[in-house]
Amino acid sequence: MGPNPSRMEFLDVPTVLQVSALFNLMAALAWVTLAQAFRIAPRASRLMAAAHVLRFATQDTSGIMASWPGLLRQATPEFGLLGCIVLLLLALRRMLRSRQRPHDIAWVGGLGALGITAGLAGGSGLAAELAGSTAVTVLALLAVREVVRGVGGQLSRVVTAFMTLPFALLALMSLTHAAELLLEPGWHGHLLRGGELPSAWRAVLWFVVTASITLSLIALMIWRVIARIQHLTHRDPLTGALNRRAFEQALDNAQAQLQRGHGFALAMIDIDHFKRINDAHGHLAGDAALQHCVGIWQASLRAVDSLGRLGGEEFCALLPLASPADLATAAAVTERLRAALAAQPLLWQGQALPLTASFGVALPVTGDPKGNVGLVRADGELYRAKAEGRNRVCVATHLQGAP
Amino acid sequence: MITPAQTLTLLAAIIMVAAVAALVWLSLALVARIAPRASLTMAGANLATALALTLHALRGVLPDALTYRPSDVLAVASFALLSVAVPAIVTRRLPWQPAAIAVAATALVLLALPYDGDLRWPARVVNGMGAALTAAAGLTVWRQLGAAEGRRTPARLALPLFLIAALMAVRGLETFVHPGGTPDMRVPTMFNIAFLWSALVLTLLQNATLAFLVLMRLIRRIERLLERDPLTDTLNRRAFDQALDHAHAWLKRGRGYALVMIDMDRFKQLNDSLGHAAGDAALRLMVLELQPCLRAVDRFGRLGGEEFCVLLPDTDIAGAALVAERMRSLVAAAPLRWLEQDWPLSASFGIAEGERGDASADAVLARADAAMYRAKNQGRNVVQA
């Protein structure tokens, strides 16, 4: 098995293990520092620190364990590794903000621990190792699934692949190890193993896996920080709708797509009598009303639509259309927004405040990079809706493309 | 008993750590686009380290023309790149010229030195240069971090650079202490083992410290986004309210404060006739004009629309009146230049002082607001208490 040992001859296995231990120690320190200095993912960082400390404490690097009784000598690294992967998986879930409860981790970890205990109690070191390796394989595969679920779709496939690679490698290594054990002759009656050193290539591989898992988790953390910055720069902090700059950006993009035949409609929205709510119930009620409206509209909009806050109580929805001049669909979507808001009053301090809004829908024109013509038309329809008595949708009757 | 395998393993470990670090910095620069120039330089520094050590480890295996002088020049280059990258992350400038000159000069000296048998002089040059470059970078970072009064990025983050400088200096000096020794890192001596372990720790530490500084920069950006108004860069409503509550809490312990409420005159008219962009420019101009009136302890916030408020700690109503009057004249003296035309700007000011009887800061804010409305009613462009 493995590469020709003579090729790895220049490596000193105890030194590799010591380097690995140093790395675990420094990684634990780094995670503790991260948890203290940034409050981005403190619990995940502490779990990672614990995982590294556990690995550091249960890996024999200087032959100290050689003098320990056989049972302890074998149990320590087996339980240590299993516990380390369990902590790692818990940290990963926290880092990715998974809502899944840790039942599956507890089951796999518990069964693995049970297998190790049973193997050791039965005097078979190989059986214990086999149970440990199997559990680690399953946990590593769970980690792969976790990363794919957590970041999949939000990051490019290459980046996602790179982030799952360390966990896949860990699964592969444990699986290979388990297969090796199964193939070893006469493992049924195998006694507890001595404290022999792993081969050089295995020691190196372990070091690589440890280091790359740490890097993968740090990458996930940086990704979370960047995502937060993007959210903050693109969203209106009060309502979570796109801010004016981000909406203008989306409109620019949509206008560019319009040249290629991808149509869209603009729905200008203004909450009716918003000033009255502010004056009668205070600014906090006004803020709550804005949040209430955006919450309802976001739920009624499709994933492709974008809703932006242009200022004050004025919003605009950008509605991509399947066919360029499909005003009917745009009108239907907008009518849904109007009806949804009218049906759900805002609950403010035990009081139901009815809220309505007026809507103006219009199509954009080509050759207008900033989309101003469409906005002005939608704004005109909005004024018409206000003038006709509010709480209604007015749709422009201009033909698309006519200036 | 020290075996050659031990030094070689440690060399391999440092090479691997440096190579992986180079990849990480490269992806930070190219994929995540975080501090791209500094990250690329850091990737270069790690790559040069990995290459220099690889060539050093392969002395005797590859041709000497590749493994001696190029290895030493790459080592100096890696120190030079490091000495550029670390200050670049802290100061956001890339002072590459002195480092480039240092590398070129060292390369010339190494070309002139004979590489036959006794390699102690090249080793002294390389290690001395490495120590000098990293120590200089350490001093820059130390001063910069110390000046920034950052409570979360203390000056001791420059420490790894000084440790690297010390390590290289020790390695250079060792050639004087042990005249018979050879600067080859593969020779299994106690000194080499200690040196390589230290080098491994410092490689990890330096990269981690720098990554920490980069992350800190990102966090700063988040904090700024959370507490600043994006248009004018003044505090947003939430952050200002927090500062105000804080000041009001101090009032009970005898530290007074005053508020200056500021509302731009005829803002809606300006918006309607010149457009939103002009309105935004006018707000920015006003904020810029008011900056000279503010001390470091003052807090300037945008309460919404064209309404701003300044919190002046340790100031009474008379002091606030002086500040507000100065602000009024500054704003009135700086018209907005828009499409080749001057549009006169002015603002109305209301001042109020925090009093012990005030239940909360809102009462003071309401008084300042009422004063500001009186100023509006008096014909605008005035200060009212």
* DSSP structure string for A166-213: HHHHHHHHHHHHHHHHHHSTT-TT------PPPPHHHHHHHHHHHHHH
Section A180-201 average pLDDT: 65
On the CB side of A176, CA atoms within 13 Å amount to 10
Cα–Cα distance measured from residue A320 to residue A333, given in angstroms and rounded to the nearest whole number: 11
Nearest to B5 among A10, A34, A219 (CB): A10
Asked if B212 lies within 8 A of A11 by C-beta distance, the reply is no
pLDDT at B49 over 90: yes
Interface check for B113 against chain A (CB to CB < 8 A): the answer is no
Question: Are B320 and B357 spatial neighbours (Cβ–Cβ below 8 Å)?
Answer: no
pLDDT at A265 over 50: yes
Shortest CA gap B225–chain A (Å):
7
**CA distances from residue B32 to B86, B89, B139 in whole angstroms, order as listed:** 19, 16, 29
Asked if B9 lies within 8 A of A222 by C-beta distance, the reply is no
Asked if B201 lies within 8 A of A22 by C-beta distance, the reply is yes
- B34 CB neighbours in chain A (<8 A) are 222, 226
Cα–Cα distance measured from residue A26 to residue B202, given in angstroms and rounded to the nearest whole number: 11
pLDDT tens column, A23-48:
999 999 999 988 887 777 889 999 99
Interface check for B8 against chain A (CB to CB < 8 A): the answer is yes
Question: Are B225 and A234 spatial neighbours (Cβ–Cβ below 8 Å)?
Answer: no
Return the domain boundaries, chain B. 4-224, 237-384
Asked if B152 lies within 8 A of A37 by C-beta distance, the reply is yes
CATH match of B237-384 with 3.30.70.270: yes
Instruction: Looking at chain B, list the stretches that DSSP marks H as alpha helix, in order from N- to C-terminal side.
Output: 4-30, 36-57, 64-67, 69-91, 96-112, 120-147, 159-177, 190-227, 237-251, 267-274, 276-290, 317-333, 361-377
- A38 CB neighbours in chain B (<8 A) are 215-216, 219
Question: Are A255 and A365 spatial neighbours (Cβ–Cβ below 8 Å)?
Answer: no
The confidence score (pLDDT) of residue B254 equals: 84
- Any idea which residue has 């205990």 for tokens? A117
pLDDT tens column, B246-304:
999 988 888 899 999 999 999 988 888 887 778 889 999 999 999 999 988 899 999 88
Interface check for A161 against chain B (CB to CB < 8 A): the answer is no
pLDDT tens column, B54-77:
999 998 888 888 888 889 999 999
pLDDT at B28 over 90: no
Between A175-189, A382-396, B6-20, the lowest mean confidence (pLDDT) is in A175-189
Average pLDDT, chain A: 86
pLDDT tens column, B349-369:
999 999 988 888 889 999 999
Nearest to A229 among B17, B208, B221 (CB): B221
pLDDT tens column, A325-350:
788 889 999 999 999 999 999 998 88
- A11 CB neighbours in chain B (<8 A) are 5, 8-9, 12
Question: Are B375 and B382 spatial neighbours (Cβ–Cβ below 8 Å)?
Answer: yes
Average pLDDT, chain B: 88
Interface check for A213 against chain B (CB to CB < 8 A): the answer is no
pLDDT tens column, A292-307:
999 999 999 988 899 9
Nearest to B218 among A33, A218, A229 (CB): A229
Cα–Cα distance measured from residue B252 to residue B135, given in angstroms and rounded to the nearest whole number: 49
- Any idea which residue has 């409570």 for tokens? B151
DSSP β-ladder status, B383-384 and B347-353: parallel
Interface check for A217 against chain B (CB to CB < 8 A): the answer is no
B149 is an active site residue: no
Confidence bin at B148 (pLDDT 50/70/90): low
pLDDT at B110 over 90: no
How many CB atoms within 10 Å of residue B334?
15
Cα–Cα distance measured from residue A336 to residue A322, given in angstroms and rounded to the nearest whole number: 18
DSSP state of B235: B
Per-window interface: B 235-264 vs A, CB < 8 A = 236
pLDDT tens column, A349-384:
888 999 999 999 999 988 888 888 889 899 999 999
- B32 CB neighbours in chain A (<8 A) are 222-223, 226
Cα–Cα distance measured from residue B15 to residue B19, given in angstroms and rounded to the nearest whole number: 6
Choosing among 3.50.50, 1.10.3470, 1.20.1070, 2.70.70, the CATH entry for B4-224 is 1.20.1070
Question: Are B53 and B10 spatial neighbours (Cβ–Cβ below 8 Å)?
Answer: no
pLDDT at A320 over 80: yes
The confidence score (pLDDT) of residue A283 equals: 76
Cα–Cα distance measured from residue A300 to residue A334, given in angstroms and rounded to the nearest whole number: 9
Question: Are B274 and B343 spatial neighbours (Cβ–Cβ below 8 Å)?
Answer: yes
Interface check for B231 against chain A (CB to CB < 8 A): the answer is no
Cα–Cα distance measured from residue A119 to residue A126, given in angstroms and rounded to the nearest whole number: 7
Question: Are B89 and B210 spatial neighbours (Cβ–Cβ below 8 Å)?
Answer: yes
Q: Tell me which residue of B361, B364, B355 sits closest to B248, measured CA to CA.
A: B361
Q: Pick the residue from chain A with its C-alpha nearest to B303.
A: A283
Residue type, A190: H
Shortest CA gap B112–chain A (Å):
34
Q: What percent of chain A has pLDDT over 70?
A: 93
Section A209-222 average pLDDT: 87
Mutation site, A222, A309, A310, interface B, largest B CB count within 10 A: A222
Asked if A218 lies within 8 A of B5 by C-beta distance, the reply is no
Cα–Cα distance measured from residue A171 to residue A166, given in angstroms and rounded to the nearest whole number: 9
Q: CA end-to-end span of chain A, whole Å?
A: 76
Q: What is the CA radius of gyration of chain B?
A: 30
Cα–Cα distance measured from residue A140 to residue A134, given in angstroms and rounded to the nearest whole number: 10
The confidence score (pLDDT) of residue A4 equals: 41
**CA distances from residue A297 to A2, A96, B338 in whole angstroms, order as listed:** 60, 27, 38
Nearest to A38 among B10, B32, B215 (CB): B215
Interface check for A26 against chain B (CB to CB < 8 A): the answer is yes
Section A161-175 average pLDDT: 92
Section B199-213 average pLDDT: 91
pLDDT at B151 over 60: no
The confidence score (pLDDT) of residue B52 equals: 94
Structure tokens at B354: 């925090």
Interface check for B20 against chain A (CB to CB < 8 A): the answer is yes
On the CB side of A222, CA atoms within 13 Å amount to 26
pLDDT at A403 over 60: no
Confidence bin at B224 (pLDDT 50/70/90): confident
Asked if A243 lies within 8 A of B230 by C-beta distance, the reply is yes
Instruction: Looking at A273-371, list the stretches that DSSP marks H as alpha helix, in order from N- to C-terminal side.
Output: 274-281, 283-300, 327-343
Nearest to A233 among B6, B201, B225 (CB): B225
What is the pTM assigned to this prediction? 0.75
The confidence score (pLDDT) of residue B318 equals: 94
Please tell me whether residue B261 adopts helix, strand or coil conformation. strand
**CA distances from residue A205 to A17, A196, B225 in whole angstroms, order as listed:** 11, 17, 43
Among residues A313, A314, A381, A388, which one is catalytic? A313
Confidence bin at A195 (pLDDT 50/70/90): low
Q: Tell me which residue of B86, B94, B97 sits closest to B141, measured CA to CA.
A: B86
Among residues B174, B289, B306, B353, which one is catalytic? B306
Structure tokens at B328: 């009024």
Shortest CA gap B109–chain A (Å):
34
Confidence bin at B119 (pLDDT 50/70/90): confident
Nearest to B222 among A11, A232, A243 (CB): A232
